Structure 1
Amino acid sequence: MCAGGFAKCLGICLIPLAIACILCNILLFFPGGTIQDSDHITDQVFYCGGLLGSGVLMIFPALVFLGLKNNDCCGCCGNESCGRRFAMLSSILFAAVGVVGAGYSVIISAVAMNLGPKCLTDSTNGTWSFPFNDGDYLKDTSLWSRCLEPKDIVHWHLTLFSLLLVMGLVQAALCAVQVVNGLLGALCGDCCGCCGGSDGAV
């Protein structure tokens, strides 16, 4: 497969992942599926790891990857293939941006999962806090009863942040693959260059 075609496949994979990350982050603003005051929402939600890092920031490299296959490579300094080589090289920069964005989302998700959700722990005094320490609730589900409200907040918190963590890792891996693909495309050229070959094959 041509370097540009392979990059397009990566872009096609990144788009739905970015949309899914945005949706997960939005849902986290509604703990347990309910509307809460901002001070009742887990702090890490406001860092927008899924909304910005794995979401909006990931759209840019995805669009660049999608456009590489159709990039015009003709007539660059007398070298027909250098336009496409430059495009593949520039895609490495966008891939690096994608890795940074996905990495940000992964770090935020990992911290949030270790810390646990913010929830009502004392109904008498109306105290909202983080009742778990160093991820202890991940091994002992009996601790989940410390969260009184919102209902099923621990499941909600774990499920959405786990999805963000996994999708962020997948995005980072795909962008890392494009770094290698971009280097190969820049050094070796695209095997399907639009100006290469006497038959004009694309």
Structure 2
Amino acid sequence: MCTGRCSKFIGVSLYPLSVLCVICNILLFFPGWNVDAINHPNEKMTPEVLYLGGIMGSGVLVLISAICIHCAGKPGKCSNRCGMFFSIIISTVGVCGSLYGLVVSVLGLVNGPRCLYQFINGRVEWAIPFRMPLENLNMDRSYLFNPDAWDRCVEPLGVVEFNVILFSTILGASCIQIVLCGIQMINGLFGCICGTCSKAF
């Protein structure tokens, strides 16, 4: 596959991943399909949702990169050695954006959601009950592997499953984006040296 065609494929592949991350992050603003959290973000919203990892990082930044990478692969003014060099730079932006989305998603998964939690002593209050201090961080004790504790989040209903599914989706999409943007950096380097073979398509 020539470098131009490869750029076109990578650009097109990044579009749905970026849109998916944006949609997932927007849905996270409505935990358990409830609008109450968005009205009280400091009290009821999971903090990592407000970092906008899926919207700004794996969403907008990668989408901008995807457009430029796609243009570098299409016959025309951008499909040349200069365009390929620019695609290396813009792919770096895509890697940074998707890394940001990945880190925020990992934090969201590790810390867990903010919810109305029923503690063992019967006390009920809004908290981030599954968060563990970094010095005591132990994945074996994580709530992710202890689904029996999820029901203690009384409100929003099903918030733990909601957060786990959406943050995991952003995490998976971000990993694929990092790989694709990394491939484009290598592809762009070859495009700078060998050209895009744009006449072939």
Aligned structure 1 segments of 4 or more residues deviating by more than 2 angstroms? 122-126
1:106 to 102, 105, 112: 102
Count of residues in correspondence between the two structures: 186
Cα deviation, 1:125-158, whole Å, max 9, x if unaligned, reads: 7621011134511111111122111111110010
- The equivalent of 1:130 in structure 2 is 128
- The equivalent of 1:34 in structure 2 is 34
For residues 1-202 of structure 1, what are the structure 2 equivalents within 5 Å?
1-36=1-36, 37-38=40-41, 39-68=43-72, 69-72=74-77, 84-122=80-118, 127-132=125-130, 133=132, 134=137, 136-190=142-196, 192-194=197-199, 202=201
Cα deviation, 1:142-176, whole Å, max 9, x if unaligned, reads: 11122111111110010000000000000111000
* Structure 2 CA distance for aligned equivalents of residues 113 and 88 of structure 1: 36
Cα deviation, 1:68-107, whole Å, max 9, x if unaligned, reads: 122337xxxxxxxxx7111101100000000000000000
**Which one has the largest radius of gyration?**
1
Q: CA deviation at 1:4?
A: 1.1
What TM-score do you get using the length of structure 1 for normalisation?
A: 0.86
- Counterpart code for 1:155: E
What TM-score do you get using the length of structure 2 for normalisation?
A: 0.87
Kept in 1: contact 2:18–2:63 (CA 8 A): yes
Kept in 1: contact 2:75–2:198 (CA 8 A): no
Q: Work out the percentage of aligned pairs sharing the same amino acid.
A: 39
Q: CA RMSD in A?
A: 1.8
* Structure 1 CA distance for aligned equivalents of residues 194 and 75 of structure 2: 18
Q: CA deviation at 1:58?
A: 1.1
* Structure 2 CA distance for aligned equivalents of residues 8 and 126 of structure 1: 53
* Structure 2 CA distance for aligned equivalents of residues 85 and 193 of structure 1: 11
Kept in 1: contact 2:150–2:160 (CA 8 A): yes
Partner SS for 1:72:
coil
Kept in 2: contact 1:144–1:154 (CA 8 A): yes
- Counterpart code for 1:185: G
- The equivalent of 1:77 in structure 2 is none
Question: Which sections of structure 1, spanning at least 5 residues, go unmatched?
Answer: 74-82, 195-200
